[in-house]
């Protein structure tokens, strides 16, 4: 009986063991390991399809983005090819911006510390601009002899084909630079007897650009007049000759004083007085001739002397007529920009 019971227990145990073996959770075999160089990441085959799919998706997205960026870049390049103009090999556009800033700085609105009147004014002295640009900043020219360099730059810029190219390339640059310079400018205003620094208003910026346009037209008219009526040339020469005589007489006074030759001092001093009087007379004759120009006296004298130097360097003054036309068109562009503000 005991044997029978033992066999039954063994049979039940074996049956339970067999049931557990057949019903236990099945563990899948481990996936083979694949090494991916050069990063040496270990990725199983079960994940490889997902990784491959993700990589393909990312690759496609990158390619699509690259294609989109290339198309955008091509469109931008096409636009730039149409709109952008390369700098002149000698005269870069930075020089135009410097000029525009210099012009903007000479505008003084009304009721400021530099202009007590109710309306604005433009104190644009051509000589001051010449001094500011005298060292030819950013100009690609040999500057060991600055006087020779200036002559070379002027002769280059006044060539008709160069002047036309400069106008097409740089006139929009000048107008935009002038607007930006005025927009970024501040002035010291007088408000109820107190000083207050403030930016220029829209109306004042418009006034400034209208004044610049007017001055450009006056300058164009003056250049055209000097190119067509050259009666000022001998008067400029006489004025310079008399000024040189003043310098010579003053040097003689200095020499007499150094030598201690007091008896000769009175004569040398009288020579200086005579030279000064003659120089003033020569200047006045030139001023009378230049009253035909719509410029201030200082600007008229400077421009007359400048045109005389061009003639001395072998240029026909009729070659200045295209410059006058360019300045007229520049005035129109500045005035149009002022009205559209």
Confirm if 170 and 96 have CB atoms less than 8 A apart: yes
Alpha-carbon gap, residue 58 to 181, rounded angstroms: 48
The pLDDT assigned to 61 comes to: 42
- Asked, for residue 64, whether it belongs to a domain, the answer is no
Number of domains in the chain: 1
Alpha-carbon gap, residue 175 to 140, rounded angstroms: 23
The pLDDT assigned to 224 comes to: 98
Which parts of the chain are beta strand (E)? 33-36, 41-44, 107-108, 121-122, 186-191, 194-199
Alpha-carbon gap, residue 197 to 185, rounded angstroms: 10
Domain containing 113: what range? 93-339
- Asked, for residue 65, whether it belongs to a domain, the answer is no
- Asked, for residue 66, whether it belongs to a domain, the answer is no
Model confidence over 76-126: pLDDT tens digits?
443 333 345 678 999 999 999 999 999 999 999 999 999 999 999 999 999
Model confidence over 242-295: pLDDT tens digits?
999 999 999 999 999 888 888 889 999 999 999 999 999 999 999 999 999 999
- Asked, for residue 188, whether it belongs to a domain, the answer is yes
- Asked, for residue 46, whether it belongs to a domain, the answer is no
- Asked, for residue 293, whether it belongs to a domain, the answer is yes
- β-strand partners of 194: 191
The pLDDT assigned to 84 comes to: 56
- Asked, for residue 20, whether it belongs to a domain, the answer is no
- For the chain, the average pLDDT equals 82
Alpha-carbon gap, residue 274 to 268, rounded angstroms: 10
**Cα-based angle 173, 143, 100 (whole degrees, multiple of 5):** 20
* DSSP character at residue 261: -
């Amino acid at each position: 009986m005991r044997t029978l019971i033992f066999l039954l227990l063994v049979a039940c145990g074996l049956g339970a063991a067999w049931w557990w073996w057949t019903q236990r959770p099945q563990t899948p075999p481990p996936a083979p390991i694949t090494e991916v160089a050069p990063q040496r990441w270990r990725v199983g085959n079960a994940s490889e399809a997902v990784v491959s799919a993700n990589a393909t998706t990312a690759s496609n997205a990158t390619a699509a983005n690259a294609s989109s960026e290339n198309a955008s870049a091509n469109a931008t390049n096409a636009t730039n090819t149409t709109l952008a103009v390369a700098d002149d090999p000698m005269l870069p556009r930075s020089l135009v911006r410097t000029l525009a800033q210099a012009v903007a700085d000479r505008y003084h609105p009304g009721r400021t510390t530099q202009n007590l009147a109710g309306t604005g004014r433009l104190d644009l002295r051509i000589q001051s601009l010449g001094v500011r640009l005298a060292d030819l900043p950013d100009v690609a020219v040999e500057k060991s002899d600055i006087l020779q360099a200036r002559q070379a730059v002027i002769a280059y810029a006044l060539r008709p084909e160069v002047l036309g190219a400069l106008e097409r390339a740089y006139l929009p640059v000048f107008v935009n630079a002038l607007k930006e310079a005025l927009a970024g400018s501040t002035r010291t205003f007088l408000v109820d007897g107190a000083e207050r620094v403030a930016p220029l208003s829209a109306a004042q910026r418009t006034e400034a650009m209208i004044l610049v346009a007017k001055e450009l037209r006056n300058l164009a008219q003056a250049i055209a007049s000097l190119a067509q009526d050259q009666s000022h040339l001998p008067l400029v020469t006489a004025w310079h000759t008399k000024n040189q005589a003043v310098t010579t007489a003053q040097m003689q006074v200095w020499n007499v004083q150094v030598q201690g030759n007091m008896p000769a001092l009175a004569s040398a001093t009288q020579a200086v007085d005579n030279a000064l009087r003659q120089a003033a007379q020569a200047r006045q004759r030139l001023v009378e001739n230049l009253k035909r120009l719509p410029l201030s006296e200082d600007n008229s004298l400077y421009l007359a002397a400048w045109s005389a130097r061009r003639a001395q360097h072998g240029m026909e003054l009729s070659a200045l007529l295209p410059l006058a036309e360019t300045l007229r068109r520049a005035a129109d562009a500045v005035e149009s920009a002022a009205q559209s503000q």
